[in-house]
């Protein structure tokens, strides 16, 4: 007879506030799952204007199509109620180690991006950011933890300290901490943090934050 670990998924909010008014950008960071990301009223209520989807196996239709009579062979396309970015992470082993570092840079760049005054760019307000995956408990936690550690090392001197903070603010039950985030993703985030620090020491890496 073999014993298998029974994994219980505990309830958590659709989205959770992780950090408020972050220095340099003045916006709030949220983490959520697919239900929270798909709730346009919830996004509006929390002034979320940027969404970063970390999941390769999750797509949500946010499009307000400007061409309602598209030919049947074309998928709906157009603008959305948010600025939508995506990096497709696997929730576990299988990701290239550079992919988590790319997720950090995509999150940071989404906050830095300046949109022109053109009709095709519908959502130009800075607003707050939601980082999501399917459950909001592993992939999104990894990217936000890496961001907090690299951007605010005085407050989060280690990746573990950033993860511990998110486990509390995201209301992740201690019984699921062994997989929130998945160990393979934590390992990649540690590697990504080391790579970013080496790039900065060599004179590359992030631009100076806005003040």
Alpha carbons 83 and 115: distance in angstroms, whole number: 10
Q: Is the pLDDT of residue 76 over 80?
A: no
Residue 92 inside a domain? The answer is yes
Q: Residue 141 maps to which CATH number? A: 3.90.190.10
Q: Is the pLDDT of residue 3 over 60?
A: no
Residue 153 near residue 5, CB atoms below 8 Å = no
Q: Is the pLDDT of residue 20 over 50?
A: yes
Spatial neighbors of 53 by CB under 8 A, at least 6 apart, are 37, 60, 84, 85, 86, 87, 132, 133
Residue 3 inside a domain? The answer is no
Q: Is the pLDDT of residue 156 over 50?
A: yes
Alpha carbons 185 and 125: distance in angstroms, whole number: 32
* Residue 36, domain extent: 15-62+74-201
Q: Please tell me the total count of domains within the chain.
A: 1
Residue 69 inside a domain? The answer is no
pLDDT digit string (tens) for 132-149? Answer: 999 999 999 999 999 999
Mean pLDDT of 119-143: 91
Mean pLDDT of 15-36: 97
- Angle CA 83–71–124, to nearest 5: 15
Question: If pLDDT is split at 50, 70 and 90, which confidence band does 124 have?
Answer: confident
Question: If pLDDT is split at 50, 70 and 90, which confidence band does 5 have?
Answer: low
Residue 210 inside a domain? The answer is no
Cα-based distances in Å from 69 to 74, 127, 144: 10, 32, 39
Residue 207 inside a domain? The answer is no
pLDDT at 2: 47
Spatial neighbors of 136 by CB under 8 A, at least 6 apart, are 12, 15, 16, 31, 32, 33, 36, 170
Pair type for strands 29-32 and 128-132: parallel
Proportion of the chain above pLDDT 90, given as a percent: 73
Question: If pLDDT is split at 50, 70 and 90, which confidence band does 66 have?
Answer: low
pLDDT digit string (tens) for 157-200? Answer: 999 999 999 999 999 999 999 999 999 999 999 999 999 999 99
Residue 208 inside a domain? The answer is no
Closest CA to 176 of 11, 29, 34, 42: 11
Residue 108 inside a domain? The answer is yes
Q: For residue 82, count other CB atoms closer than 10 A to its CB.
A: 22
Residue 174 inside a domain? The answer is yes
Alpha carbons 187 and 198: distance in angstroms, whole number: 17
Alpha carbons 166 and 161: distance in angstroms, whole number: 9
Closest CA to 165 of 145, 142, 136: 145
């Amino acid at each position: 007879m073999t014993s298998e670990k029974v994994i219980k998924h505990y309830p958590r909010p659709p989205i959770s506030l992780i950090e408020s008014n972050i220095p340099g950008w003045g916006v709030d960071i949220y983490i959520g799952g697919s239900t929270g990301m798909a709730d346009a009223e919830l996004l509006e209520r929390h002034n979320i204007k940027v969404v970063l989807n970390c999941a390769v196996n999750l797509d949500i239709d946010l499009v307000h199509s400007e061409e309602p009579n598209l030919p049947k062979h074309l998928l709906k396309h157009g603008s959305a109620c948010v600025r939508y970015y995506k990096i497709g992470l696997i929730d576990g082993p299988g990701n290239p180690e550079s992919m988590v570092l790319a997720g950090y840079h995509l999150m940071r760049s989404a906050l830095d991006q300046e949109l022109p005054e053109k009709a095709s760019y519908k959502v130009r307000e800075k607003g707050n950011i939601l980082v999501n995956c399917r459950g909001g408990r592993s992939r999104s936690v990894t990217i936000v933890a890496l961001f907090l550690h690299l951007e605010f090392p005085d407050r989060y001197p280690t990746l573990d300290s950033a993860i511990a903070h998110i486990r509390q603010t995201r209301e992740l039950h201690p019984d699921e901490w062994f997989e929130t985030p998945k160990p393979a993703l934590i390992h990649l985030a540690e590697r990504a943090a080391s790579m970013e620090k080496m790039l900065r020491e060599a004179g590359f890496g992030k631009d100076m934050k806005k003040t």
